[in-house]
Structures are given as structure tokens and as C-alpha cells.
Structure 1
Amino acid sequence: MLITSELRWFNRGKIPPEINDWFNADVFGEHYQLPEEREDIYLYIPECDYLGIKLRQQRFSIKLRKAELDTLSLGDHIEGKVEKWVKWSCEDATAESLIPADALKASPWVSVKKVRSQRKYQVSTEASVTSVPVDKAINEGCNVEITQLDIKDNLWWSLALEAFGEDANLMYNLKTVAVWLFQTYPNFKLQLQNSYAYPKWLAFQPLNIASFFDF
């Protein structure tokens, strides 16, 4: 089980070049995960913005929103909603899909193609932020990711912060990295109305449940 405090925005279209340049800047540290392609398969749950069920290859994940927290404002261009989530995951070491293909055909599952870049930061009690490798295990920190999304040929992009650590430190870790990160952010608005998690984003999509998959 993993408990996190998260801040995320969704916007339509491709990632703007100025946002890509900002995220890739050397000032954010030497450790940077190159864009990684993946496909996540979500269970579509209409009118449900607090529960996410996802399958990626042999990993099955469930995320439940525990609380809606503060609205975080950073200057004139950035405002978002912080949420607290709990996540459970399991894997099948046999390399077989946890959900049979027949079940995917019969149920409302939707494929989301992603190209994700990620950074990871360790946070100290003195509010210092240190770049670390994405695969390094640390106790207190925050992941930052930028993702190009393709859902049934509709393009979106997402920018997110996901803080982890002791429960009492989650908001501190998130705010510390957010304040440090957005000091150099370009003149592109991240608005409160676009700040939410994947379950709510999926509910916005004009999905035809009968044709989620073309086998």
C-alpha cells in the first residue's frame, strides 16, 4: 500500500514546446527519465472520480481517494487541487495477464497510450530539494512527471506531482518541491478547473463503451 499527496493538471492537445523545454532544463538536476511509452488499461466507472482501477501488462492497481486537501496557488498562473490517494498493486510473475482477454472484451475497459517523462526529488527537513535517480528508493520525496496522452486518438497532456513519505510529511514534501519547481515555470496557465486525477479525466471523455477495444 502506498499513500501519496498528488497535484495534477490535464490539458488538451500536445505538450507545448515551452513546457517540454522547461521540464528538460538542466537546472532541475542531472537525473531525468527519458520519455517512456506505455499503455495503461483503465476500468471505466461512470460518474466516479474517487476510484481508479488500472492494468498495465502484469501489474494490477487500485487507487482510492482518501481526501480532497488544499488548493495550492503559486503566482498568477498556477492553481491546483491537492488530493490524498492510497494505492494497492499486485503483479503476476508468470508474465500472464491478470485479466483474461475475454473479460477485457466484455467489460468497459479503455486503453490510454502514454509517453511519460519523470523526475524524482528527495526532500529534507530543511526544505532542500535534491534530484535523485527515478529508480532510487528514498523515504521522503516527490515524483514529477509530464505525460503525453492518447485516448482513442484524442490527445491530451498531463503535468503531475506525487509526494510520498510519512503521512505527516506528505503535504510538506509536495509544497516544497512545487515551490522550488515552479520558480522558472513559463507563462502558461495551469488552472484549477483542469486540476484533478485520472478517474475524473476519464469521465470527461466521449467514450463509446461498446467499442473500447477493436480486437
Structure 2
Amino acid sequence: MIAAPDPARPVRPGWVRVDCHLHTVASGDSVMTLDQLAERVAAQRIDVVCLTEHNHLAASAEELSRAVGARVVPGEEIRTGSGELIGLFLTERVPYVLPARAVVERIRAQGGLVCAPHPYDPLRNGVGAALDAMCAAGWIDAIEVFNAKIPDPEHNQAALRTARAHGLPGTVGSDAHDPAGVGAAYLEMPDFDGPRSFLAALHQAERHGEHRPHAPHFGPGLRR
């Protein structure tokens, strides 16, 4: 079950509201500036955003948090030879089009977490059928089990089944590329102070989200 987003409802004490996947203009296919993100985060009462630019690390956590006015986890959505992976809690950019194993090693070397975004959505370059083997090999820390831009709920459900089969926690993200998308999906979870406590808190997280059928696509041939 996933609950509908309700920004007016208070978050319980000691918990935070987290959007685990979104993009600004730095991704190249988003129209959202940092200023617009800041406005939307405040309006939707999001406490933490994971800024996952395409093949780009925007800035440090401190710089991004000051710009957004909320806590930011720096991340990167990275194109690998097997499909896209997300690195969270990054301090250095990971090059794209490396083999997936090399990307995982580079994320882990800087203390980051590896997440598999939209793994089964045919409209996006997820890792798809390779996910099960990646999980079995211990490469994946978390799986995106709800992405607000996926039109077929079965693709999110398949990700949730894989996460449960491997005992992995699930993330939730708006995958917003425009201001209106921020808040379409988020987690409410215990507060955390780093990658390990984030991972532990994910196991207690409550999922909130809804599909955005009006989510725009930006640029010719882009299907983000």
C-alpha cells in the first residue's frame, strides 16, 4: 500500500519527509531551478531531498542545503553499461557509461549508497532484468519501489517484489523535472545523520505517492 501525499498532515516527532529522486536544470532535461526547488520544498513541507542529477554531481551537501533551504543529500543518476543506477551521499562525481560493477565500486568507495531507480519501467533506462543478479551479488543497497512518473503500477509493484525478495529497503521519489512535480512522492521516515542511518531508517519508512499523468517530458526524444 502507498498513501496519497498530504503535505498538510504533520510528520510525527523525530521523523522527516524525504523525496529520494529529483532533478534540476543541471540534469539537462529538467526545467526546475534551485530557487524553484526551494519554493516548492517549502510549500510541500519536504524536509530532505535527494538531488540526483543525470551524470552530474551538483555541489556539496552544505552548498546545496543552503541554496534549497532544506537538507539535501547529493546524488547522481548514472548511466552504466547495464542501465541507470543512483548513487546517494556522494562527494565526487562518478563517470557515466562505466560497467555497473565499476560504478558500484566508485559509489561505495566514497561511503555512498547504491539505489536502482525505476528498474522495470520500459520508458526509462533502468537495469531491468539485471536487477535480481545485482541484488544477489550485493551491489544494491535500496530499490526505488515507487516512482511517480511511471504510468503502469505493475512496474512499481515488480520493483517492490524484488526488494522484498532480497530483503532490501525501498525508496520513493517524485522524479520531478519541474516544480509542480516535487511532492508527488516521498517517504516519511525516522531522521538520519548519514548513509548508514539512512539505510536503517528506510526499513521503517512509510510510502506516500501518486502517479503524475500530466508530468511533462522535456526535449526531443527525452523520456524522463
TM-score (norm 1): 0.26
| Higher RCO structure (Cα 8 Å, ≥6 apart) | 1
Question: Rg bigger for which structure?
Answer: 1
